[in-house]
Amino acid sequence: MRCAECRESLSALIDGELDPSAAADVRAHFADCADCRREHDVLVDTSRLLKEGLVRHTAPDVLKARLRSSLAQSRPFVEPLERRTRSWITLAAAGVAIAIFSSGITLGVARQAARPSAGDEVLSSHLRSLMPGHLTDVASTNQHNVKPWFNGRVDFSPSVPNLDSLGFPLLGGRLDYVNNRPVAVVVYGRREHKISVYSWPSAGGIGTPVSPASSDVRGYHMLTWTADGLTYWAVSDLNRDELRDFVREFTATH
């Protein structure tokens, strides 16, 4: 075997891709040729260095959240946005009416309800989170695990109050994608029900806090409010009164 031929085969040899007889020829050549043997050793070292030293990246959570959101849109049970929006507006209007009559909350929330897209996206996001394995990215009953988990994943610090003693155990947090931006979701439980609390920075900055407005869509109850410059949405299939209790405690505690 000539050196040129040997050199061509070296990479395949170290990758175990050379057939046995060719490999035997190359090794036989090493016995006669120190240069080729050294070249082989250099390639082995290089390959080992690369294997051990190169970073194997992990897909970021925000990418996973975006993909979840995009893949969910290709699911047939999530109706097309246009079709749902109209019914949402109707229901949101009904929800605002309920909010006004049932709890005497301020009227300032009508503006919130007139923006259906966020609520729409929040509801479909909550629905897909209920599919197996999608509920939380970080599963923890400890607020001191969940809150820091959002550091570096979103550019704000979401509220993660401890409501254990009130019967709303913390289940964890996840990153989701609503309104074309990553949002924080904190998940609580109530018996077998799940409550997702979404938050993201309000468009208008800090602004005046807005009291909760509620709406009901297909058996799900939603409440939205703003506080400390963040817009919050709570969504659950829990009954309306209990969800309202939950939000009262949530806003009182954080």
Partner 1 sequence: MGQRDVERFERVVLPHLDDAYTLARYLLRDEHDAQDAVHDAVLRALRHFEGYREGDARAWLLAIVRNCCLTWLKRDRARRSVIPFLDVASAEPVEPRATDALAIERSDRAALERVVAALPPEFREVIVLREIEELSYKEISDVVGAPIGTVMSRLARARKRLADALRIGAKEAG
- Is 37 one of the binding residues for partner 1 (CB under 8 A)? no
Does residue 71 bind partner 1 (CB under 8 A)?
yes
Is 202 in contact with 217 (CB distance < 8 Å)?
A: no
Using CB under 8 A as the binding rule, whether residue 74 contacts partner 1 is answered as: yes
> Up-side HSE of residue 59: CA atoms within 13 Å toward CB?
8
* 52 binds partner 1 per the rule CB under 8 A: yes
Among 5, 17, 32, 241, binds partner 1 (CB under 8 A): 17
Backbone φ and ψ of 232, nearest 5°: -115, 145
Q: Compute the distance between CA of residue 129 and CA of residue 184 in angstroms, rounded to an integer.
A: 13
Tokens coding 142: 């400890």
Q: Pick between residue 104 and residue 132 the one whose CB is nearest to partner 1.
A: 132
Selected from 67, 97, 114, 206, the binder of partner 1 by CB under 8 A is 67
Task: Choose one: 64-72, 94-102, 149-157, 242-250; the region binding partner 1 (CB under 8 A).
Answer: 64-72
Q: Looking at 54, 82, 165, 205, which residue binds partner 1 (CB under 8 A)?
A: 54
Q: Which residues 6+ apart lie within 8 Å of 92 measured at CB?
A: 113, 114, 116, 119, 215
For residue 28, what are the CA distances in angstroms to 6, 33, 174?
10, 9, 59
Which CB, 73 or 103, lies closer to partner 1?
73
Nearer to partner 1, 50 or 252 (CB): 50
Q: How would you classify residue 7: left for phi > 0, otherwise alpha for psi between -120 and 50, otherwise beta?
A: alpha
User: Is-contact 223 212, C-beta < 8 A?
Assistant: yes
Is residue 3 a contact point for partner 1 (CB under 8 A)? no
Residue type, 174: R
Q: Binding residue for partner 1 (CB under 8 A) from 4, 55, 151, 219?
A: 55
Q: Find the binder of partner 1 among 28, 49, 107, 203 (CB under 8 A).
A: 49
Among 24, 28, 48, 106, binds partner 1 (CB under 8 A): 48
Report residue 226 as tokens.
């703003």
Footprint of partner 1 (CB under 8 A):
7-8, 10-12, 15, 17, 38, 41-43, 45-60, 62-64, 66-67, 70-71, 74-77
